[in-house]
Structure 1
Amino acid sequence: MREIIRHKYFYLMVLPLILFYIIFAYIPMYGVTLAFKDFNYSLGIMGSPWNNFQNFKDVFHNPDFVKSFRNTLFINLGRLIIEFPIPIVLAIMLNEIRNGRLKRVYQTVFTFPHFISWVVLSGIITSLLSDQGVVNQLLQLLGMEKNNILTSNGSFLGLVFASNVWKEAGWSSIIYLAAISGINPELYEASAIDGANRFQQLKAITWPVLRSTAAILLILAVGGIMNGGFDQIFNMYNPAVYERSDILDTFVYRSAFTDATGFGFSTTVGLLKSVINFVLLFGANFIVKHVLKEEGLY
């Protein structure tokens, strides 16, 4: 208590954040019991009867759940393999630019797309690539066949990865640039005097600093692998590509508000997502600490 009183102003600064999580994260957790109940609006959550895990049985026997689960894993593994390394490479490339003004221009250009919402961006993409979009009209004028990117499962997934890289790579590179900025410039000067080239400096100075940051972000990325990016998928997909692009988040949305399967069903799916993410988070942290020998989250 003496420590709290001594640093009372710091605790006061943290208090709004603590209250936010208590009110919006911890208190609503009692709603997880919906996954184990036959929800009745008139009885409420606590008064509704238990249903002997019937919601879990319904979920596991639902073919759409199996399909969306598979798609979620596939899309997020693709994000880890394709999208995760790009911000690191981008940060290293930006760090190699010696002209400060030009470097700031590139940073602004790469960061700006992050502030465009997926609603706006999906509208732009649809206007460009739809059947009567700008791209298809140009192709027709040139006597070429129309593209079917928005309605083809394979090409649509490529569009998902490419658009997310364009939108978020610059923003994600900021944390790596911050790590690089903490490197003492004298290390580069000393290595240059010793005859090290730029690649050798990258390998011996820059990468060891980035590696620990990348390890932490990798743990967080693996821990959120069941979150497939609802905003992007929901605003871009269509029934023609449900087979490969319908993820758990969009499946839950339709289950709760479109298919009328009930809140117990959608809560069960959300609970399963959280449990899987929990296990993956701890597993990734264990691998990073004991296999890669890097600092983990705990």
Structure 2
Amino acid sequence: VSEAGGLGILGAATWKPDGFREQIRLARQLTGRPFEANIVVSSPLSEMQIEVVIEENLPAVTTSAGGAGRYTSRLKEAGVFVIHVVPTVGFAIQARSAGVDAIVAEGSESGGFTSLEEISTFALVPQVVDAVDCPVLAAGGIGDGRGLAAAMALGAVGVQIGTRFLATIEAEIPDDYKKALLMARDTDTILHGSKKAAAGLMKDELRERVSEAMKAEAPEESENPGDWDTHLKKQPETMAWAAGQVAGLIREIAPVREVIEGMVRQAGHIFESQSRSFGG
């Protein structure tokens, strides 16, 4: 993504410090362009991962799934640009008060772990833009130039994209995962919620099993759909493929550069066309 003109994000996920550091250094061997890391604040590994970010002099970090105030001051003192992901206006205000430099307003259309608030990107982004005095990026349901143009029209300065980049040649995920994305329809993503987590997942046999389980009170201890070590050992048809609702828009596996350049080009054409329509 960085090589193609975006700001690539290296997910810290469940990496322990040495492994995370190795991933950062490997990324630097692959690109001389800037990239950042995503840290899940609520992860028990986040404290150590933050130290690695600082020690490795990453220029920026995106924090998510936890309070922005926990690490922001420490990161900013180290000269790291801090971006925080929020699902509501209230969390955006809190994050800005904590001193973050930019905010990602992530709607419920997104994949992976999401908020149970279920506020759509289209409704969330302009409200967050109005509520804070820092740059806002949009996330959730953005997969082509139309989504980029819409996000910019809502006041966002840019977008954060996940699902669309899964369906690229460079994405190191199983081929069955990519095939599932290509076959997806607009209704093929479900929100799996429990007392512990919420995740946007691709529909398959899992949909029926999850839906049945959700009819009863969620157990205190349950299998976490983000546990990829477990799921990658299962049969493809019973796996939980994380993806956002925009999966139904994906029609081909393409190089990352082609995706980004096509998105920017399409958004530019839209703005030019709309400018003429409005007499600009």
Indicate whether the TM-score tops 0.5.
no
Q: Which TM-score applies when normalising by structure 2?
A: 0.23
Q: Which TM-score applies when normalising by structure 1?
A: 0.22
Bigger radius of gyration:
1
More helix by share: 1
